[in-house]
């Protein structure tokens, strides 16, 4: 069961007691005299100073505006901030003069905490905060978080999971996969979509190792003191992609590499042929879904559906063929419109359906639709000529 206790007795001054800001990590670390971990590892980094939101927090306090609800989770040693770390870090930086920022006055002059009047200082320090302290199982906390409307940036799915399954495993995993200073990050982002700070690279790593069962995996490994399996599997997938494909196309980002690895990493490939095929399909304007090329070639080029190739289906071809042929016979010229305007013997030739191909009147590459209105049957020769232009 989830238990929440409302606290309205903690003031800004209480929270700022023992506040420590780490400039190197860009985040507030502790408050409440050491009882509060302001930014546990699963939280995203402090990103408030962009856009003057830190100034806005202090202004709100001075004007007596509410700061909104803040959520803590009860831990063995005290509390961790679940939501509100950015607001807390903002006012604590201002009040304790660490990594300070100024509050401009009406004339635009910078004002720091110490240059405020005693009355203004007291007003800020004595502001009571509205804080919910939550206690419950991982699942309870996660579910509950999903149902509340969190102020500011909503948490990503993985941030919610990190909060719910917080512990040493998540801490270690974040240090590798949410760390933008990691020298491998750029290489990884060639294949993974999303923001590492918002835990989306970690999400991919967990997705790959768990075959899509992230929650179960996190639950099972929550107490682990190492992340070896997670890292090893992730490296195997990345190495496999790197070894197989010569060029990193932007279409490779965000593919289901975990699943593709499971399905195909034991399949031998002729690397040069595989890459030739990729290059060919990349350059083929009929291939609508370029992202599908990689799974298509890995699967031995047997599932053209993956490519969403723009071709007319047989029903459209036959209908168009019959329409064109009927008109051509009545007019006494070829049923290929290009043969019909030629000066040779083909000008009056009626081609069989199997001797003709469908062509986009308005080119598909220029947005022409693949429907009967934009379909024209041409003899093989003319269709190929047109296709080469």
- Summarize as ranges the residues that interact with Zn ion (CB under 5 A): 336, 338-339, 379, 382
- Between 338 and 372, name the residue whose CB sits nearer to Zn ion: 338
Q: Which residue number, 44 or 333, has a Cβ lying nearer to Zn ion?
A: 333
Helix (H, G, I), strand (E, B) or coil at 358: strand
H/E stretch holding 15 = helix 12-16
Q: How far is the CB of 383 from Zn ion (least distance, A)?
A: 8
Work out how close the CB of 346 gets to Zn ion at its nearest, in angstroms, rounded to a whole number.
6
Rounded to a whole number of angstroms, the minimum distance from the CB of residue 357 to Zn ion is: 10
Cα–Cα nearest to 204, from 250, 235, 242, 249: 235
| 300 or 387: CB nearest Zn ion | 387
Do the Cβ atoms of 334 and 349 come closer than 8 Å? Answer: yes
| Contact status, residue 216 vs residue 210, Cβ threshold 8 Å | yes
Q: How far is the CB of 325 from Zn ion (least distance, A)?
A: 13
CB atoms closer than 10 angstroms to residue 69: 16
Detail the DSSP E strand segments found in the chain.
Answer: 3-7, 20-22, 27-31, 36-37, 70-74, 79-83, 103-104, 110-111, 131-135, 356-360, 375-379
When the beta carbons of 150 and 347 are compared against Zn ion, the nearer one is 347
Residues facing 102 on adjacent strands: none
In the complex, what is the shortest distance from the CB of residue 339 to Zn ion, in angstroms, rounded to a whole number?
3
Cβ proximity to Zn ion: between 60 and 334 the closer is 334
Of the pair 47, 338, the CB lying nearest Zn ion is at: 338
Residue 384: name the closest of 336, 323, 324, 321 by CA: 336
Taking the least distance from each CB to Zn ion, the nearer of 317 and 382 is 382
Pairwise CA distance, residues 29 & 18, whole Å: 10
Which is closer to Zn ion, CB of 39 or CB of 383? Answer: 383
State which residue, 298 or 339, has the beta carbon closest to Zn ion: 339
- Give the pairing type, strands 27-31 and 20-22: antiparallel
305 and 289 in contact (C-beta within 8 Å)?
Answer: no
Rounded least distance, CB 189 to Zn ion, Å: 50
Beta strands at 3-7 and 20-22: parallel, antiparallel or unpaired: unpaired
- Nearest-approach distance from CB 354 to Zn ion, in angstroms: 14
Give yes or no for a contact between 85 and 46, defined as CB atoms under 8 angstroms apart: yes
CB 337, min distance to Zn ion, A: 8
DSSP letter string over 187-241? HHTTT--S-GGGTHHHHHHHHHHHTT-HHHHHHHHTT-S--HHHHHHHHHHHHHH
Give me the least distance between CB of 381 and Zn ion, in Å please: 6
Gap between the Cα atoms of 235 and 360, Å rounded = 45
């Amino acid at each position: 069961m989830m238990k929440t206790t409302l606290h309205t007795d903690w003031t800004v001054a209480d929270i700022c007691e023992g506040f420590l800001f780490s400039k190197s990590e860009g985040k507030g670390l502790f408050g409440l005299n050491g009882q509060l971990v302001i930014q546990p590892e699963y939280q995203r980094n402090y990103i408030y100073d962009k856009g003057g939101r830190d100034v806005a927090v202090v202004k709100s306090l001075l004007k007596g505006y509410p700061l909104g609800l803040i959520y803590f989770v009860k831990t063995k040693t005290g509390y961790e901030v679940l939501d509100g770390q950015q607001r807390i870090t903002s006012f604590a930086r201002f009040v304790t003069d660490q990594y300070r920022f100024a509050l401009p006055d009406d004339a635009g002059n910078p004002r720091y905490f110490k240059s405020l009047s005693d009355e203004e200082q007291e007003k800020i320090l004595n502001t009571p905060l509205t804080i919910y302290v939550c206690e419950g199982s991982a699942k309870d906390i996660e579910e509950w978080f999903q149902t509340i409307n969190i102020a500011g940036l909503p948490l990503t799915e993985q941030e919610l999971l990190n909060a719910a399954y917080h512990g040493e495993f998540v801490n270690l995993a974040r240090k590798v996969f949410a760390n933008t200073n990691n020298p491998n990050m750029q290489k990884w982002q060639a294949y993974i979509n999303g923001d590492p700070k918002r835990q989306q690279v970690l999400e991919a790593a967990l997705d790959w190792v768990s075959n899509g069962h992230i929650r179960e995996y996190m639950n099972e490994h929550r107490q682990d003191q190492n992340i070896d399996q997670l890292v090893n599997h992730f490296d195997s997938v990345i190495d496999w992609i790197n070894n197989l494909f010569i060029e990193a196309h932007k279409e490779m980002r965000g593919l289901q590499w975990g699943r593709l690895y499971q399905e195909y990493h034991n399949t031998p490939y002729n690397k040069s042929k595989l890459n030739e095929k990729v290059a060919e399909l990349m350059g083929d304007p009929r291939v609508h879904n370029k992202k599908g090329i990689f799974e298509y070639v890995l699967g031995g080029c047997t599932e053209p559906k993956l490519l969403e190739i723009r071709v007319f289906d047989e029903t459209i071809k036959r209908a168009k063929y019959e329409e064109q042929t009927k008109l051509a016979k009545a007019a006494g010229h070829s049923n290929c419109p290009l043969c019909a305007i030629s000066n040779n013997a083909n000008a009056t030739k009626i081609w069989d359906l199997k001797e003709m191909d469908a062509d986009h009147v308005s080119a598909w590459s220029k947005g022409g639709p693949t429907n009967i209105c934009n379909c024209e049957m041409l003899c093989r020769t003319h269709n190929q000529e047109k296709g080469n232009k």
